[in-house]
Amino acid sequence: MADLTLAALTKVYPGGVRALDSVELTVADGEFFALLGPSGCGKTTLLRTLAGLETATSGAVLLGGTDVTAVPPGRRDVAMVFQDYALFPHMTVTDNIAYPLRIRKVPGRERRERAADTAAELGLGDHLGRRPDQLSGGQQQRVALARAMACHPRAFLFDEPLSNLDARMRLEARTFLKRLQRELGVTTVFVTHDQAEALALADRIAVMEQGRIRQLGTPAEVFRRPANTFVASFIGSTPMNLLPGTAEGGAVRVADTALPTPEGLALAEGEKLTYGIRPEYLTFHQEPVAGALAGEVRVVENLGSSQLVTLEGPAGEVRVVVDEDTALAPGTAGHALPRADRALVYRDGELLGPPGYETPATGTRTP
Amino acid sequence: MTAPPGADPETTAADRHAAGLDGARRLLATVGFYTFCSLVLAFFTVPLLWLASAPFDDTPSVTASLPSFTLANFETLLDNRYAMRSLGNSAVLAAGTGVLVVVCAALAAYALSRVRLPGRDALLYALLLLSSIVTGTAAMVPLFNLAFELDLIDSQLGVILVLSGGLLPSAVFILKDFMDGTPRSYEESAQVFGASPLQVMRHVVVPLVRPGLATIAVWSVAQVWGNFLIPFLLLRSPEKSPAAVVMYTFYTEGGQPDLALISTFSLLYSVPVVLMFLLVSSRYGFRFHGGIKR
Amino acid sequence: MATSPPEPGGPPAGAAPRERDAAGLGRLGATAFVVPALLLIAAFLVFPALWTIYLGATDYRLTGLAAVDPQFVGAENVERALDDDGFTNSLGLTLQFVLGSAVIGQAGLGFAIAWVLRDRRGFGRRLIEAMVLLAWILPSSVIAFLWIALLDRDDGTLNALLSTPGTAWLLEHPMLSLIVFNIWRGTAFSMMLYAAALGNVPPSQLETARLAGASSWQQLRDVVFPRIRGHVLTNLLLISLWTFNDFTPFLLTGGGPEDRTEIMPVFIYETALFGGELGFGAAISVLMLLINLVIAVVYARLLRRRKDVDR
């Protein structure tokens, strides 16, 4: 078990692509840490550099305080679970789980026993003699986890651990994974492109774009106060409304509506701003309300316990989450009123905080 | 024979519609289909009939006919000193070349598939072209000279080396395709657990590409088994000659071809390749790989 | 794999950018893996090819004075070959052989079989494929004799079947016989390649065409052919080169009657090893290499153009 530190880590591919751009990051001992971002943002490269499968162009990787930048992958004492699990198709479940022990020259009998123990812990006791292609996706994932656990590494690295499962299995596996990590207490870094997965699992999240960390913080911080419009549009199962406007008398005027802002923002009169508000933090009214965005209901999407309504008005498209009991028909008028304390104001794409507010980009881990 | 198009249970609605409109055309297509298949089958079967009948005929002629059954021809064959020996020679040449080609090609294909060496693709393509161009006939003279200088004339080792050199580019090319098709995460996974390159090769890569290795092994063995030119060129003594060459002497020596011997020998000589082929196609399926992907 | 001393907190000094590969081989390891194969190829493929070029410029002979001390004669051999009736005759015959048996025969019949059987399963298909494959995998010496027996003047099965007793096919129609023989021999490769290629044509595209009312021929032209064009070119390249360099016809006709089937490989064999003119033979080999190269380059060009179109 160990903490992980990345110092000015940079990776430039031969073609000149800068996959990682001086990344600074510390993952605490025992922490469950998510690398989140769209495909091609460098998150997988970062994970592979941690594993030693990619060599950093410059910068350092520290594991438990020692520099492992030049240490080959096999000697870093980390375990990785690949997106496709990489279970060896020609080996049984036991042989797969015991493989790391085989490399470490643990005698055959002992390593089979240890593999069986680990398998039993993960509920795989009945499948020891099977081959990977005879297992379900969820079982395959647990074999991969068991194989990673078998050698008691100092850190786990998971590459998109849930993406190969179908929707229902994914939820179950997510809960399982979080419990397992809590119990083992092993420092874990995982990569995902699914913001819901990152929010649900991680103690802290690094949101990445083009080789840089755009925001680092707890799920609550990242969700409530996205540090920039990139993170704002990336986090949340329904994307945040980002409306262009101008500062006017302490409020933000979008189209012809003055929208309320959080207290304590210093806005220069007339400056161009972006007003961010999540669909969940807008309340829907069928009658006109002061300070609400007006529009016509264009699309109604049923989300089960709620509805996602797309309003089209002078401010452009605005999405609102409406409770399930409100009857709605396309073509009718609607008004969306923002919750002032949840509204976010961005200047040049960066979040404006109240004076003295620590900018979320440097957010520290909350235990 | 499979069902005619009309009886196909999976016909789509569009099919039925078109068929209903034009029954005559469908009939014509069916007749055409069976005529074509019969002609193809006849074309490919007729030349082979002799091989099935003559070995068991007590008075074999060049005509394929129902034999007056006998196994006497096989006794004649067993009495021929060179005949049985030549099959052994063929086996030695085929096995030697097969092992050499599979081992060298597997190592090279693996490295070329996983490490981007400078000029890799150009090199592979150039070698592949070269190998189909210099298949022995064009380079006959220098091959003969080279074998002479290296003291490899009349040596089975010489034949093995020359054949391996000719087969390797295609083998590397085909195997590289197999290796390219296996996910790297298997090897990376083994690597993260601390396996050395040779361990990765032994534990993971070889078991994964076993069908590819089998294909290459069978392919090289079949190539050598049937090769006439190189042993004809490089081997002098009949005791070392493989079946392909020895068989040729059966019908040039003495003017009159010894049909009993030739037919029986042909059959015996053919059986191993056919068996090998059946084995591989039943175990791995005869799939097409490599070089033809694009 | 170079390692640098760990320097906590800072970039490791002198650590050049290194590419790590899936196997952890490194350049050095990879080179070691490649060397055995390359050595064999260099010694027994590349070197003889280069030597052929050198020999082609000498008057080297199997016996006599020139065997001991070959003289450099430059392009004389090549000029002589180009003037030689035997050479031009042989070149013409080879082109007939390649065009007739490979480009038209094997590719055409192979595609036809693959297309007709494309969505058939079961015994019939397996039987046809097995027979076609059998012709391909049997040793050439056996095959050659099978065909000598088939085409025999007096007792040949073909004459019995066609009721044409006394027709000496190999003497009266030698090149036609060889072409048919080679179609029989080599169709399997094209058949399998096209079967694989047709399997890669997405059924949804064919179904779209069928729903739009396209006939078989239109489906072939508009959906199938554009998709398998790369396979067609690769197939034609390989079978052209193989047929060009095929020595098996020698086993059937020995080049006769009267040089009427003396294709290039046979011509070289007769000239160099039988006639003893090694230098002259090598010069013809060089010409043959050049022709091969031209074929290869033409196909490679066509292939590349296809890829450009794709992008």
pLDDT in tens, A200-256: 999 999 999 999 999 999 999 999 999 999 999 999 888 899 999 999 888 889 988
Q: Which two tokens stand for residue A153?
A: 């590494």
Of A265, A72, A253, A43, the residue nearest A158 (C-alpha): A43
- The answer to whether the Cβ–Cβ distance between B186 and A151 falls below 8 Å is no
Task: Give residue C197's pLDDT band: very low, low, confident or very high (50, 70, 90).
Answer: confident
Task: Give residue B18's pLDDT band: very low, low, confident or very high (50, 70, 90).
Answer: low
In whole angstroms, what is the distance from residue B279 CA to residue B281 CA? Answer: 6
Architecture of domain A4-229: 3-Layer(aba) Sandwich (3.40)
| B168 and B269 share one domain | yes
Domains of chain C by residue range:
91-270
The answer to whether residue B67 is domain-embedded is: no
| pLDDT of B252 above 60 | no
Chains A & B: contacts with CB separation below 8 Å: 58
Class of the domain covering A238-355: mainly beta
| Token pair 């079947």: residue | C161
What is the mean pLDDT of the segment spanning C202-208? 84
The backbone torsions φ and ψ at residue B73, rounded to the nearest 5 degrees and listed phi first, read -60, -35
| pLDDT of B33 above 70 | yes
In whole angstroms, what is the distance from residue C92 CA to residue C129 CA? Answer: 33
pLDDT of residue A336: 93
The answer to whether residue B87 is domain-embedded is: yes
Reduced to 3 states (helix: H, G, I; strand: E, B; else coil), residue A60 is: strand
- Higher pLDDT, residue C218 or B253: C218
The residue count for chain C: 311
A58 at interface of C, judged by CB pairs closer than 8 A: yes
| pLDDT of C19 above 60 | no
From the CA of B2, how many Å to the nearest CA of chain A?
32
What is the mean pLDDT of the segment spanning B1-21? 52
| Token pair 């081992």: residue | B103
A53 at interface of C, judged by CB pairs closer than 8 A: yes
Of the candidates C3, C11, C20, the beta carbon closest to that of A59 is on: C11
Task: Please answer whether residues A204 and A217 qualify as being in contact, where contact means their C-beta atoms are separated by less than 8 angstroms.
Answer: yes
| pLDDT of C100 above 90 | yes
CB-count burial class (<10 Å; 0-12, 13-18, 19+) for C92: exposed
| B10 and B97 share one domain | no
Task: For CATH 2.40.50.140, list the domain ranges present in chain A.
Answer: 238-355
Task: Give residue A360's pLDDT band: very low, low, confident or very high (50, 70, 90).
Answer: very low
pLDDT of residue A212: 92
For residue range B168-189, what is the model confidence (pLDDT) as tens digits?
988 888 888 778 877 888 888 8
Among the residue ranges A26-30, C8-12, C300-304, the one predicted with the least confidence is C8-12
pTM of the full structure: 0.74
What is the mean pLDDT of the segment spanning A180-209? 94
Specify the CATH superfamily of domain C91-270.
MetI-like (1.10.3720.10)
Strand order in the sheet with A306-313: A282-285, A333-338, A293-302, A306-313, A316-323
- The answer to whether the Cβ–Cβ distance between B48 and C135 falls below 8 Å is yes
Domain of B108, CATH number, reads: 1.10.3720.10
In whole angstroms, what is the distance from residue C264 CA to residue B139 CA? Answer: 12
Task: Please answer whether residues A31 and A2 qualify as being in contact, where contact means their C-beta atoms are separated by less than 8 angstroms.
Answer: no
pLDDT of residue B95: 94
The percent of residues in chain A predicted with pLDDT above 70, rounded, is 96
In whole angstroms, what is the distance from residue A98 CA to residue A101 CA? Answer: 5
Number of structural domains (chain B) is 2
In whole angstroms, what is the distance from residue C239 CA to residue B135 CA? Answer: 13
Among the residue ranges A115-124, B284-293, C90-99, the one predicted with the least confidence is B284-293
Q: How far is CA B86 from CA A167, B156, B195, B252, C276, in A?
A: 64, 12, 45, 17, 28
What is the mean pLDDT of the segment spanning B161-173? 88
| B135 and B265 share one domain | yes
What is the mean pLDDT of the segment spanning C250-278? 81
pLDDT of residue C75: 78
| B10 and B138 share one domain | no
Task: Please answer whether residues B64 and B195 qualify as being in contact, where contact means their C-beta atoms are separated by less than 8 angstroms.
Answer: no
With beta carbons under 8 A apart, name residues in chain B contacting A51.
Answer: 188, 192
Of the candidates A14, A65, A69, the beta carbon closest to that of C12 is on: A69
With beta carbons under 8 A apart, name residues in chain B contacting A83.
Answer: 185
Among the residue ranges A98-107, B152-161, C9-18, the one predicted with the least confidence is C9-18
From the CA of B83, how many Å to the nearest CA of chain C?
14
3-state helix, strand, coil in chain C (%, to 5): 70, 0, 30
With beta carbons under 8 A apart, name residues in chain C contacting A55.
Answer: 15, 17-20
Task: Give residue B67's pLDDT band: very low, low, confident or very high (50, 70, 90).
Answer: low
Strand order in the sheet with A212-217: A78-81, A155-159, A187-192, A32-36, A204-209, A212-217
- Higher pLDDT, residue C103 or B127: C103
Q: Which two tokens stand for residue A197?
A: 């997965």
The answer to whether residue B294 is domain-embedded is: no
The whole-chain average pLDDT of chain A stands at 89
With beta carbons under 8 A apart, name residues in chain C contacting A53.
Answer: 20, 22
With beta carbons under 8 A apart, name residues in chain C contacting A4.
Answer: none
Task: Name every residue whose Cβ is closer than 8 Å to that of residue A99 and which is 6 or more positions away in sequence.
Answer: A88, A91, A147, B190, B193, B203
| B110 and B19 share one domain | no
- For residue B5, the enclosing domain spans 1-43
From the CA of A54, how many Å to the nearest CA of chain B?
11
Task: Give residue A309's pLDDT band: very low, low, confident or very high (50, 70, 90).
Answer: very high
In whole angstroms, what is the distance from residue A277 CA to residue B204 CA? Answer: 52
pLDDT of residue A243: 93
Task: For CATH 3.40.50.300, list the domain ranges present in chain A.
Answer: 4-229
Reduced to 3 states (helix: H, G, I; strand: E, B; else coil), residue C57 is: coil
ipTM, two decimals, is 0.79
